[in-house]
Amino acid sequence: MSIRSYQGETPAIGKGVYVDETALVIGRVTLAEDVSLWPYVVARGDVNAIAIGARSNIQDLCVLHVTHDGPYSPGGLPLVIGEDVTVGHQCLLHACRIGDRCLIGMGSIVMDGTVIAADVLLAAGSLVSPGKLLEAGNLYRGNPAQKVRTLTTQELEMLRYSADHYVRLKDRYLGA
């Protein structure tokens, strides 16, 4: 695994975290307990902070980045991912906030200033425009992402199951 400091900021790695040897974690990145970063994930906390909550998983080829403090973005924007979140393969998450128990479908792009509330399913290939709010308990899809419907009880249970599955899988990788 490649964990790099940047300008005196070193990633903070919680208990039971799995970072694949091909993943890259740089700077102000906090990985809470039982987080997993899979092959070729890049988490670059160089100009702002990235925080990933407990039991969340970031799957292969995802790019996680932030926005710097500047004239067009006063204070900049961090990337904050809640607990029990599944981020599918090849997603781009940029300076946004994702609530607990969300599933971000494969190939989705979530832009600066977006807030995704808890218990949201974002369908594969979706684009969430800058500054958009995705309301809790709903399915969103498309380019730009639009609310489709309220999630069923089974879908809400699946969000938690997905995160739990990835905790079990990363434990096998860790040999636990």
Tens of pLDDT, residues 87-145: 999 999 999 999 999 999 999 999 999 999 999 999 999 999 999 999 999 999 999 99
Computed over every residue of the chain, the mean pLDDT equals 97
Predicted local distance difference test score (pLDDT) of residue 165: 98
**Contact indicator for 60, 36 with CB cutoff of 8 Å:** no
| Cα separation, 139 vs 7, whole angstroms | 40
pLDDT band for 176, please (50, 70, 90 cuts).
low
Sign of the torsion formed by the C-alpha atoms of 117, 50, 107 and 19:
negative
If you ran DSSP here, which 8-state letter would residue 135 be given? P
**Contact indicator for 163, 85 with CB cutoff of 8 Å:** yes
Please report, for the domain that includes residue 127, its CATH number: 2.160.10.10
**Contact indicator for 102, 118 with CB cutoff of 8 Å:** yes
- Into how many domains does the chain fold? 1
- Tokens coding 3: 């964990």
